[in-house]
Amino acid sequence: MLRTVSCVGVQAQGFDAATTQWPTAASGVVAHTKGVWAEVVASTPWDACAVEMQIGDSDATNKIHLLDLGIGPPGDEHVLVTDLMLQLPGSGDDSNYPYFFVIPIPKGSRLAIRTQTSTTTSHDVRAVVTLYRAGRTFPQLGTGRISTYGASPSTTRGTSIDPGASANTKGGWVQVAASVDLIRAIQLAFGPAGNVARQTYSWTVDLGIGPSGDEQIVLADIPLASNSGQDEIVTSLYGPCEVFIPSGSRLAMRAACSGADASDRLFDTIAYGIG
Amino acid sequence: MRRLLSPASPRWTVAGMTTVIAGTVLTAGTANVKGSWAQLTSALPFSVDAILVRLGVGTAADRLVDLGVGPVGDEQVVVPDILFTPGTAGATDRHWTYWPIRLPSGSRLAARCQCVTGAATMEITCELRESLLGRHRQSGQQIEAWGAATADSGGTSVDPGATLHTKGAWSQLTASTGFPCRAIQLIPGVGSNRGRVYARWGVDVGIGPSGDEQLLAENVRILCTGSARDEISPFSGLGRLLPVPVPAGVRVAMRAQCSVTNSADRLFDVVGYGIR
């Protein structure tokens, strides 16, 4: 039986009604180094069972962000999820990467964000953190622990995937992680790898697990596309979707591309597993 | 069908993909009239708990898309009037929406569309998903659309009003929900307005009679990144499937505040969906 709703079930945190804006965090002036934490909300209003994070940056500089969501008091933030990728092709497009994670966040929690970029100039990243109230109909998946695979913080990149030189033919498997924790749901981020002069291409992408040479497909034919006008990879985020990947599994990815240009056929990926 | 490694893994497959990359082509009828059904799969390979619908490769014109099941000539709509308003870069952009709808194994799956431009084409693919964990909690049996405007293949217009950064009046999506909903879905669109300026909105969703709306969702962001894309984003991914139960027979409405006051660019369309 459905209960009558009498209260807000979904709420963006840190909203500034005076400017119709949401919180930002500034990257440091040292490339590939996380900046300081910026508070999103001092105290969450109720127990949450899931969180959506839309991250974006309206600056026209071609760059990549890797963003962390943290929980805890000032000076003692603990990372809930690390290295959420935002790749900007330099069009000034305040792109949306709407990450979604089914994780419990207790009432009264302080949430904060921090970011790093691939440049030596400080850039703001905006994070719209939307909480979903506990007791809703999302199935609770495991412990809510989120692990990031394939990120390269030292270069502010993901793992580069090369479909190979034969158009419309799946290329070789590329390792994303040598060994993962138990994964019950997965979200995949895709980006243009800093390439800001792309052709209009399409891809289909497979995610697999298993040792090199014996990969078994977990997710097949995920479609991606690029457009020469925006130089982005769409869909920038895939999932989350329910999977079962045993602890200790090797994670790999391969792709087919409609074109064969040595630069334009490449894309980056980072995987986020929920245990 | 791709069989996953572990027997505990849910099954997953793609319907409607015609080549390595392309989807099934849908052709609209005359302006604002649904075209013919196009088959995505002749028989679902397993009982489906959710469908991820990907729409793309269409000209920059507003569309409404139906998903249906049933034999040829007797298709029954299961997901009505999915709003699809590709922007200026509509040639390759792919929008996806997530529908927790339960469909039986063996069903034939098809789709059709209408467009403000007669005979316009687009492509569709569908990911069919089994959900072992969510089967008894998340998947629904029925979906109804609120606020679809079939006369112009769009949605209900929401106007934040002429005062900057101030919530405007509520816009009704439906006067009365048809059944109890376990979740709702919202898809924003451009309302045939392309050539837009950058704008952001903070959106509320409420239920209840006019003047006494109770908030379900508060300050949810949607964004238009400007004339380079002319799209209202994010498109309805899982983040726009709001797991808020809504009783039968209630009025659903939406209001917003905006970062611009331009009388055209502050407006956006929306279609809401109740999921039983």
SS3 of chain B = CECCCCCCCCCEEEECCCCCCCCEEEECCCCCCCCCCEEEECCCCCCECEEEEEEECCCCCCEEEEEEECCCCCCEEEEEEEEECCCCCCCCCEEEEEECECECCCCCEEEEEEECCCCCEEEEEEEEECCCCCCCCCCECCEEEECCECCCCECEEECCCCCCCCCCCCEEEECCCCCCECEEEEEEECCCCCCCCCEEEEEEEEECCCCCCEEEEEEEEEEECCCCCCCEECCCCHHHEECCCECCCCCEEEEEEECCCCCCCCCEEEEEEEEC
Residues A48-61, mean pLDDT to the nearest whole number: 83
Q: Please name which of B42, B57, B113 lies closest in space to residue B80, comparing C-alpha atoms.
A: B113
Query: CA A194 to CA A263: how far, in whole Å?
Result: 10
Subunit contact B17:A217, Cβ cutoff 8 A: no
- The CA-based dihedral angle spanning residues A241, A247, A249, A251, taken in that order and rounded to the nearest 10 degrees: 40
Answer yes or no: is pLDDT of B132 > 60: yes
Select, from the ranges A70-74, B50-54, B98-102, the one with the highest average predicted confidence (pLDDT).
A70-74
Contact A17, A11 (CB under 8 A): no
- Going from the C-alpha of A168 to that of each of B22, B206, B255, the distances in angstroms are 11, 47, 45
Query: CA A102 to CA A125: how far, in whole Å?
Result: 23
| Integer Rg of chain A from CA | 19
Q: Which residue of A has its CA nearest to B136?
A: A139
Query: CA B127 to CA A69: how far, in whole Å?
Result: 30
- Going from the C-alpha of B276 to that of each of A35, B81, B103, B138, B140, the distances in angstroms are 45, 16, 13, 9, 5
CA distance to partner chain B, nearest, from residue A19 (Å): 6
Nearest by CB to residue B247, choosing from A2, A218, A240, is A2
Answer yes or no: is pLDDT of A160 > 60: yes
Please give, one letter per residue, the 3-state secondary structure of A153-213.
CCCCECEEECCCCCCCCCCCCEEEECCCCCEEEEEEEEECCCCCCCCCCEEEEEEEECCCC
Confidence of residue A7 (pLDDT cuts 50, 70, 90): low
- Going from the C-alpha of B125 to that of each of A266, B17, B110, B119, B186, the distances in angstroms are 23, 6, 10, 19, 20
Chain A positions touching B13 (Cβ under 8 A) are 220
Confidence of residue A122 (pLDDT cuts 50, 70, 90): confident
Confidence of residue A43 (pLDDT cuts 50, 70, 90): very high
Phi, psi angles (nearest 5°) of residue A34 = -65, 140
Q: Which residue of A has its CA nearest to B232?
A: A96
Q: What is the pLDDT of residue A194?
A: 75
Q: What is the pLDDT of residue A145?
A: 86
Chain A positions touching B93 (Cβ under 8 A) are 225, 227, 234
Residues A87-97, mean pLDDT to the nearest whole number: 62
Q: Please name which of B93, B143, B90 lies closest in space to residue B116, comparing C-alpha atoms.
A: B90
Structure tokens given for B63: 């569309």
**Residues B181-220: tens digit of each pLDDT:** 988 999 998 888 888 888 999 999 999 999 999 999 999 9
Query: CA B170 to CA B267: how far, in whole Å?
Result: 13
Touching check for A154 and chain B: CB below 8 Å? no
Residues B249-266, mean pLDDT to the nearest whole number: 96
Q: What is the pLDDT of residue A136?
A: 58
Who's near A213: CB < 8 A, 6+ residues apart? none
Nearest by CB to residue B259, choosing from A20, A234, A237, is A20
Contact A223, B94 (CB under 8 A): yes
Higher pLDDT, B124 or B58: B124
Residue A103 identity? I
Phi, psi angles (nearest 5°) of residue B140 = -110, 175
pTM of the model: 0.89
Beta bridge partners of B206: B215, B253
Subunit contact A242:B134, Cβ cutoff 8 A: yes
Beta bridge partners of A251: A177, A209
Residue A84, helix vs strand vs coil: strand
- Going from the C-alpha of A163 to that of each of A203, A211, A253, A268, B1, the distances in angstroms are 9, 19, 10, 12, 22
Label residues B1-26 b or e (16+ Cβ within 10 Å = b): eeebbeeebbbbbbbbbeebbbbbeb
DSSP assigned state of A139: P
CB atoms within 10 A of CB B238: 24
Contact A265, A201 (CB under 8 A): yes
Q: What is the pLDDT of residue A3?
A: 32
Report the residue of B182, B220, B246 to disrupt the A interface, i.e. the one with the largest count of A CBs within 10 Å. B220
Residues A121-135, mean pLDDT to the nearest whole number: 85
Chain B positions touching A8 (Cβ under 8 A) are 215-218
Q: Residues 208-247, chain A: which have Cβ within 8 Å of B?
A: 209-210, 216-221, 223, 225-227, 229-230, 234-235, 237, 239-244, 246
SS3 content of chain A, % helix, strand, coil (to 5): 0, 50, 50
Confidence of residue B6 (pLDDT cuts 50, 70, 90): very low
DSSP assigned state of A152: B
Query: CA B22 to CA A225: how far, in whole Å?
Result: 11
Confidence of residue A91 (pLDDT cuts 50, 70, 90): low
CB atoms within 10 A of CB A206: 19
* Out of A54-63, A86-95, B6-15, B58-67, least confident range: A86-95
CB atoms within 10 A of CB A120: 12
Query: CA A207 to CA A220: how far, in whole Å?
Result: 6
Subunit contact B246:A223, Cβ cutoff 8 A: no
Answer yes or no: is pLDDT of B109 > 60: yes
Subunit contact A220:B14, Cβ cutoff 8 A: yes
